[in-house]
A = this chain, B = another copy of it.
């Protein structure tokens, strides 16, 4: 099992790359057979190809992220963070809570993101 420190390091790297990395940087943190359900209740993206396509949508955006807190339990973690996306003068701020599971090497085996359109703040 990955240690709590390994899991926290992967979560930090994930939030950093969602804020400033390429889709390839983000997907490299996932297992080849990982699943991504974002938001929870939608059809999961399964495997590196589908997950790359999912994150490719944010790659061209002007964005930044901030990690608020991480809770590790066994081979899982829940964490809250902020994603700010900018279009010209307008900003879109979302604070999701994500849940991830990890394999023995600290790679992400599943991600589920809890948020809805109601949580998006436009400024």
Measured CB to CB, the residues of A under 8 A from B are 4, 39-42, 69, 71-80, 95-97, 99, 113-116, 118-119
Cα(A40)–Cα(B71), bound, Å: 10
Listed by A's residue number, 22 A-B pairs whose Cβ atoms lie within 8 Å are A39-B73, A40-B73, A41-B73, A41-B74, A41-B76, A42-B74, A69-B95, A71-B95, A71-B97, A71-B114, A71-B115, A71-B119, A72-B114, A72-B116, A72-B118, A73-B113, A73-B114, A76-B114, A78-B99, A79-B97, A80-B80, A80-B97
Q: Flag if A78 contacts B78 (CB, 8 Å).
A: yes
Q: Flag if A116 contacts B4 (CB, 8 Å).
A: yes
Chain B residues closer than 8 Å to A71, beta-carbon distance: 95-97, 114-116, 119
A99 with B99, Cβ < 8 A, contacts A114-B78, A118-B4 known? yes
A77 with B118, Cβ < 8 A, contacts A95-B69, A96-B71, A97-B71 known? no
